[in-house]
Structure 1
Amino acid sequence: MILKATEMKKKSIVKKIAVSFLFIVFVVSSGNVAAQQSVWSLEDCINYAIENNIQIKQSELDIEANEADLLQSKLTLLPSLNGNTNFSWSWGRTLDQTTYVYFNQETNQGNMNLDASLTLFNGLQNLNSIKRDQIDFMASQYAADKMRDDISLMLTRAYLQILFNKELLAVAQEQVDITQEQIDRTEKMVEAGTLARGSLLEIQAQGSREELSVINYENLLDLAYLDLLQILDLDFDDDMEIEIPELTMEITNQLMQVKQVYETALTTQPVVKRAELQVESSHKSVAIAQGGRSPVFGVGGGWRTNYSNQFRNFDPESGSFTDVISFGDQFKDNQSQYLGFNLSIPIFNGYQVSTMINKAKINAANSEYNFELTKNTLRKEIEQAYNEAKAAYKSYVATESSLNSFEESFRYTEQKFNVGLSNSVDYNIAKSQLTSAESELLRAKYDYIFKTRILDFYMGKRPGYLIFTWASR
């Protein structure tokens, strides 16, 4: 009975351990699955970057800092109020405040005061500071928008590069399969004596070269994924996959004219709006510096009281001073208030104000040049994107036409090779030309896609729009 009970107890313990182990494995596996996202769309990538990208977070912190500056500049319009108190002990020869006779004694005394001041006029410097900080706050928001757009465009390019490399890999793998079929067919023809063994060797060599091409395209695809992950600030993950959209786009030569795109971009692009606001901010800085030449007029007031152990009560009957007046009585009796106006007129300060005005004007002129430079850069980028889109369209049309010819040529050469009327050299050449044409067509297609999306972006469509809207065109 004892042995039986012991065995049952052991089985119970083993069962509990097994259940606990399975539970732990389930929890860990569930955590790993939840922590990973296997398939990413372009929208997922952009949303993740906007929420987690460090540069975007830094730009958002800049917004908060400028907002704090704006609040502070508004609060400068309020009066200032400050309190001060002190208490001290001293020993030695001291003038008695009641008898006006010097004694060697310990003295305790304290003071308390509240002071308030308000600037009524200082050459509109405070008001211009508020306007400048409002402009800087808006400029920081446009800077953050620019950062989001830049990251989104980088992700779009990386995403398209992955799609491009996937299609190249698919083409290369298809060529390997075709060549393998041809190798099998050629082996049978060599065994039947209808083809020389040299033809088989050449076809096999072509197959090896194409397998190497598959490996190279796989490497390029891994690098494209790595580029996307690095933009997302994620560790490299072999299991990451992107969503493959249906690219049913229409490739056309009907593009928006450069002038129309540029005029629209001037009113929609954050980089232009930020540069324009920086010009306005610099002119407000000039007005602030010029306010330094103005007189400053203000009002001030305050309250004070004090205490000292030298203040004693006077006894009229004895004609002498007795005990020290209490702190509460001195606090009440020694109170005083004041109110006054102050006027400060700058006359000569080593040309500091003039220097500040000149520097502010220089900065304003520099910001205007930066604004013009920003517009020129924008125009050049639009012109380049427009011409590259046109070039990609022409390349696509030409390559598509030549691809049809290469497909017919390869089909004809393959038929001749299968019946022994063509050698393996001609077959390999025709096949290589077809593969090259297919690759060039893919390159032109994706180049056209990205460049037209860039033009759409300059037309005011945010990068979120670039999430393959052409699939429904």
Structure 2
Amino acid sequence: MIKRLFPQIIAITFSFLVLGLGTVLAQKTWTLEECILYALENNIQIKQSRLQTQTAEINLLQSKLDFAPSVNANASLGNNWGRNQGQSGLYIDRSTLSNSFGLNGSLELFGGMKKWNTLQKSELDLKASNYVSEEMENDISLGLTGAYLNIIYSHELLNVAEQQVEVTRQQIERTNNLVEAGTLPRGDLLEIQAQGAQEETNLITAQNNLSLAYLDLKQFLDLPSETDLEIDFPKIELSQELQIIPSDQIYANAVDIMPEIKGGEVNLQSAERSVKIAQGSLYPSLSLNGGISTNYYSSAQKLAYDDAGNPVLDSNLDPVWEDIPYSDQLDLNTGEYLTLNLNIPIFNGYAVKSNVKRAKVQTVDQSFRLQLRKNELRKNIEQKYHDAIAAYKTYNASKFSVESLSEAFNYTEEKFNVGMVNSVDYSLAKIKLTQAQSQYLQAKYDYIFKTKILDFYMGIPLTL
């Protein structure tokens, strides 16, 4: 009985394991580090940039192999027919089969150092390609960090909206009781109910913003919008004091490690190698060539000799000719050669000098591009530095404002409950508190994101 049910038991057990595994995956929470790692492994743009790196690796290998000699083999088979002059001197109709084989090689001994400079350029191009991939990875990591923090920010805004809605609901109940008791006019209840409706709308907006923030993160990860995605909400503690390294120190560090700068420097070096490659055509080139060849002709003949070594004659006392065997011809017709070729450029329509000038222009252009990138990096760091300081000041001011307005609202709410203030004053106090809470959260996460960017320029990994 057990043996008969064993396959079913195995199937049921396997189903439970699969369902359990699916539940675990569904319950997984993504940290910022896990999101970045997933994006770097699966982003299509990064994969495309890595394909460019593979192409650069192939080019580098080819540059190395260009130093090896070139060796080629050739063979031909042909057939000629028509009137041809025979051994007797008379023209006769005949068909001639020909066959030839050859093997030749060439080695450049000196070519103006073009191959050497091409090899150096290929190595630099490979480095530049790696820096392009690294720069793309950095851009995606920073963008993903912003999207991740936006979810946390939107989540806290949603909590504020939910709290405000709940407070207003409770206040509506208390106001309704006071109106029925005759303590407050009915207009106050209508005012509070209108505020409640507005806060319900704000709650829907906050929920939608949170959904859009999750959608933005999913798009960074190239995940379908219907994917269940839950992120980790770390507790982020902010220092009471401003702790930001001066922008000039950040720039001095970033200019040595940022891939866009390192790539620009390598591109400049590659352009300088291009100049040397173009200048190589101005110098003489020396090459060594050699080869071996042989051939066969079906019309090839030789005098016939008897065993005694005497020429064989026909009835007219004319010498008898016989065909030379195929293998004998391949052996007898073998030829070898070895040449040393020197090529001295004298005039080539000014083409070489034009190439040199174009290469020098590209070098100057690359130097400008590098300086522009450095300027852009410096401006970006200075902007983020001042934005971080402003966000920190706004954060502290907003924090104090929230604390003050919270106390003021609690005091106003107590007075409203006993009829000492009207609904308009109560609503204004509540709106001011909500606005201050929103500004506080915005400044908080703006400051966090700006400092994370500055830390990133210092070589500190992105983490919360």
TM-score, L = length of structure 2: 0.92
| Alignment equivalent of 1:297, drawn from 283, 286, 295 | 286
The alignment partner of 1:350 has SS state of coil
Find the aligned partners of 1:87 and 1:450 in 2 and give their Cα distance. Answer: 75
Matched, 1:248 2:237: yes
Between 1:403-412 and 1:384-393, the stretch displaced more is: 403-412
Between 1:239-248 and 1:276-285, the stretch displaced more is: 239-248
Find the aligned partners of 2:266 and 2:106 in 1 and give their Cα distance. Answer: 34
Matched, 1:192 2:156: no
Shift of 1:384: 0.4
Q: How does 1:227-306 map to 2 (within 5 A)?
A: 227-237=216-226, 239-250=228-239, 252-306=241-295
Shift of 1:39: 2.3
Counterpart position of 2:400:
401
Counterpart position of 1:51:
41
The alignment partner of 2:281 has SS state of helix
Counterpart position of 1:121:
110
Q: How does 1:435-454 map to 2 (within 5 A)?
A: 435-454=434-453
> Deviations along 1:401-424, whole A, 9 cap, x unmatched?
211211111011011011111111
Shift of 1:313: 3.9
> Deviations along 1:376-418, whole A, 9 cap, x unmatched?
0000000100010011011111111211211111011011011
Residue 251 to residue 447, structure 1, CA distance change in 2 (3 Å): farther
Matched, 1:155 2:144: yes
Counterpart position of 1:82:
72
Between 1:403-412 and 1:375-384, the stretch displaced more is: 403-412
Counterpart position of 1:386:
385
Shift of 1:100: 5.6
> Deviations along 1:88-140, whole A, 9 cap, x unmatched?
012111244x5565321111001111111100101111101111111111111
| Residues 252, 393 of structure 1: 8 Å contact kept | no
Find the aligned partners of 2:37 and 2:88 in 1 and give their Cα distance. Answer: 82
Unaligned runs of 5+ in 1: 1-14, 469-473
Counterpart position of 1:8:
none
Find the aligned partners of 2:108 and 2:242 in 1 and give their Cα distance. Answer: 65
Between 1:23-32 and 1:234-243, the stretch displaced more is: 23-32
| Residues 312, 321 of structure 1: 8 Å contact kept | no
Between 1:241-250 and 1:61-70, the stretch displaced more is: 241-250
Matched, 1:63 2:53: yes
Counterpart position of 1:374:
373
Find the aligned partners of 1:192 and 1:346 in 2 and give their Cα distance. Answer: 110
**Amino acid across the alignment from 1:58:** Q
The alignment partner of 1:293 has SS state of coil
Q: How does 1:322-341 map to 2 (within 5 A)?
A: 322-341=321-340
RMSD, aligned α-carbons: 2.3
| Residues 26, 228 of structure 2: 8 Å contact kept | no
| Residues 142, 270 of structure 1: 8 Å contact kept | yes
Matched, 1:344 2:343: yes
| Residues 304, 320 of structure 2: 8 Å contact kept | yes
**Amino acid across the alignment from 2:74:** N
Find the aligned partners of 2:232 and 2:355 in 1 and give their Cα distance. Answer: 57
| Alignment equivalent of 1:318, drawn from 312, 316, 319 | 312
Residue 133 to residue 238, structure 1, CA distance change in 2 (3 Å): closer
Counterpart position of 2:462:
466
Residue 111 to residue 425, structure 1, CA distance change in 2 (3 Å): same
| Residues 251, 393 of structure 1: 8 Å contact kept | no
| Residues 100, 295 of structure 2: 8 Å contact kept | yes
| Residues 143, 271 of structure 1: 8 Å contact kept | yes
Runs of 4+ deviating beyond 3 Å: 18-38, 98-102, 319-323
Shift of 1:40: 1.7
Shift of 1:45: 1.1
**Amino acid across the alignment from 2:425:** D
TM-score, L = length of structure 1: 0.90
**Amino acid across the alignment from 2:75:** T
Shift of 1:20: 12
Across the two proteins, how many residue pairs are aligned to each other? Answer: 451
Shift of 1:290: 0.6
Find the aligned partners of 1:142 and 1:99 in 2 and give their Cα distance. Answer: 77
| Residues 85, 110 of structure 1: 8 Å contact kept | yes
Unaligned runs of 5+ in 2: 306-310, 314-318
Between 1:107-116 and 1:24-33, the stretch displaced more is: 24-33
Find the aligned partners of 1:99 and 1:268 in 2 and give their Cα distance. Answer: 86
Matched-pair identity in %: 45
